[in-house]
Amino acid sequence: MTLELLPIVENIDSQVLESSDGPQGHNRSVYIETYGCQMNVADSELVGSILNEAGFVISSRAENADIILLNTCAVREHAEERVIGRVAQLNALRAQRPNLTIGILGCMAQHLSETLTERAPFVDIAMGPDSYRRLPNLLAQSSDDALLDVRLNKSENYIGLTPIRREGTNAWVTIIRGCDKFCTFCIVPYVRGRERSIDPIDIVSQIESVVSEGYKEVTLLGQTVNSYKHMNVGFAQLLREIAKVNGLERLRFTSPYPVDFSDDVIMAMSELNCVCPSIHLPVQSGSEAQLRSMRRGYTVDDFRRLVDKLRNTIPDIAISTDIITGFCGETEKDFRETCKLMEEIQFDFAFMFKYSAREGTFAFKKMTDDVTEEIKGQRLQHIIKLQEQISLEKNMKFLGNTYPVLIEGKSKRKGKDGKERCFGKTPHNKTTVIPESVPANTIVNITVDRCTSHTLYGRLN
C-alpha cells in the first residue's frame, strides 16, 4: 500500500459541520479507541463531535463499526508497537466486513507519517492532531492507497465544537494545545505543534455548559497547562475566572511545567475552594547533569524550592510526578541522585519510564542512547519498588481521617465477600473504595480505615 498526500484545502468542512446529517456520514458507524494521555481522551471526544455532526454514528464496539479509529500516542516506542499490534488484530475483521476502514489518528500518525503504512500496512487513513476538522472529508474519499493528512496548524484550536463526552464525573477541557519546550527527549512539540492558548471566554463557557450537564469536576488539560497565556490572561487569572462558575465543585489541571509555576498560581490554588489540593509535577530526574541534558530549564534546587512553596502554601497538597530512567549518559551516580530526590520529596505517586529514543528529537539526533536495556530495566524496577514504599507511607497518613469522595461508579473488583463495591476520588486524587452502594457523581464523606500503596479503603460516614 502506498501513501497519498492530500491536496491542501482549507476550511472545507465549515458548512458540513453545521449539518446533523451531512453528506459524508450516511449513518456509517465509527468506533474510536484511545491510547496515551488525557489530551488524547479529550481529542477523541472532539473527533466524536466532528463525526457526529457530519452524520456518522458513534459506536461503542469495534466489532459493529464500519470505521475503526485508533487515537494514538508517540511518546514511547512501546505505545506505537501496541497500536501496530492492534491494527493487525483489527485487520482480521475485514474477513467479514471487506468495507471496513481502519484509521490512525493523533501523535503516532504525525510522528511516523510517510513510513506509517510500511509499519502498519493495513491502515486506510492517517491523520495528525491538527487535522480533525477534515476527517469527515477524508473518510468520504475512496482510494486503494492509504490517505494521509498530517498538516500541523498553529491556529487550530477546535473552537466552536462541543466534544461528545463520555458519561462520568470529570469533564476534560483542553485549554492549551501544543508545546514549545523542546525537552531533548520528547516528541510532543514535533507531533502536537506549537503552543497555543484557547480564549478564556470559550473555556469558561465550555465549563458552564459541562457543569449545567451535571459534571461536578473539571480537569484543565495541556502539555504544559500552566504556560497558558491568552492576550493578557495568564493561568492564575484563568483559574480565578473558572472558579466563579456556579456549581463547579472540583477543579484540577494537568500537567504543569515546573518552570512556569508562578507564585500567583500557587496563591490562586490556595485561595480558590474548588481547586483540588493535588498536583502532577513531572520532575524527570534528580540529577543536575541529566536535567541539563534533558533541557528541562530548572535545577534540582529550583524543583525543591517549588515543592516547598507548594507545601507551605497548601499544606496537605498531594504531589505526583513523572520520572525517566536510562536517559542518554545517565550514570549510576545520576540514578542514585534520582532515588535520593524521590526519598527526599516523597511523591504521592509517580509514573516511571525507561527512556525510549524517539526519532526527530534532539536526543535522537545528537546524543547517544548509551544505557543498556538491561540497566534501564533494573533501574526502573528499583524506582518502582522505592515509590511503592513511599506511596504506601503517604497513604497511611490518610488512615482514620474523613474525606469528601466524589463517587465515580462501581469498582472493577468485588470485595472479599463477593459483593460489589464503589470507588471515587478524594480531593487529593486518591482512589478510594467503599463497600456501600452510592450513585455515581455524588460526593460523600468517607473515613479511611485501610490502604495499599495505590488505594484507600473506607466506609461511609
Interface residues with ligand SAH (CB under 6 A) are 75-76, 183, 185-186, 188, 223-224, 255, 257, 282, 284, 322, 324, 353, 355-356, 358
Least spacing, CB of residue 227 vs ligand SAH, in Å: 10
Rounded CA-CA distance 60/48 in Å is 11
Q: How would you classify the pairing of strands 170-174 and 146-149?
A: unpaired
User: Hey, is 272 helix, strand or coil?
Assistant: coil
The CA–CA distances, whole Å, from 97 to 33, 89, 92, 104, 125 equal: 19, 14, 9, 19, 17
Rounded CA-CA distance 179/221 in Å is 12
Point out which residues pair with 103 in neighbouring strands: 69, 125
Is 28 or 76 the residue whose CB approaches ligand SAH more closely? 76
Rounded CA-CA distance 394/72 in Å is 33
- CB-facing half-sphere around the CA of 104: CA atoms within 13 A: 37
Show the cell assigned to 32: 474510536
Point out which residues pair with 423 in neighbouring strands: 409, 433
Least spacing, CB of residue 297 vs ligand SAH, in Å: 11
**Which residue number places its CB atom closest to ligand SAH?**
322
User: Hey, is 218 helix, strand or coil?
Assistant: strand
Least spacing, CB of residue 378 vs ligand SAH, in Å: 16
Least spacing, CB of residue 458 vs ligand SAH, in Å: 31
Is 215 or 257 the residue whose CB approaches ligand SAH more closely? 257
Least spacing, CB of residue 344 vs ligand SAH, in Å: 19
Least spacing, CB of residue 315 vs ligand SAH, in Å: 25
Is 55 or 178 the residue whose CB approaches ligand SAH more closely? 178
Is 319 or 451 the residue whose CB approaches ligand SAH more closely? 319
Is 347 or 398 the residue whose CB approaches ligand SAH more closely? 347
Is 361 or 432 the residue whose CB approaches ligand SAH more closely? 361
Is 194 or 244 the residue whose CB approaches ligand SAH more closely? 194
Least spacing, CB of residue 461 vs ligand SAH, in Å: 37
Is 183 or 210 the residue whose CB approaches ligand SAH more closely? 183
For the chain, how many residues are written?
Answer: 461
Could you write out the DSSP letters of every residue in 88-128? HHHHGGGGT-TT-EEEEEEHHHHHHGGGHHHHSTT-SEEE-
Is 117 or 184 the residue whose CB approaches ligand SAH more closely? 184
Count CB atoms within 10 A of the CB of residue 23. Answer: 12
Least spacing, CB of residue 303 vs ligand SAH, in Å: 12
Least spacing, CB of residue 321 vs ligand SAH, in Å: 8
Q: Which of 165, 244, 240, 157 is nearest to 210 (CA)?
A: 165
User: CA angle, corner 385, sides to 379 and 389, nearest 5?
Assistant: 145
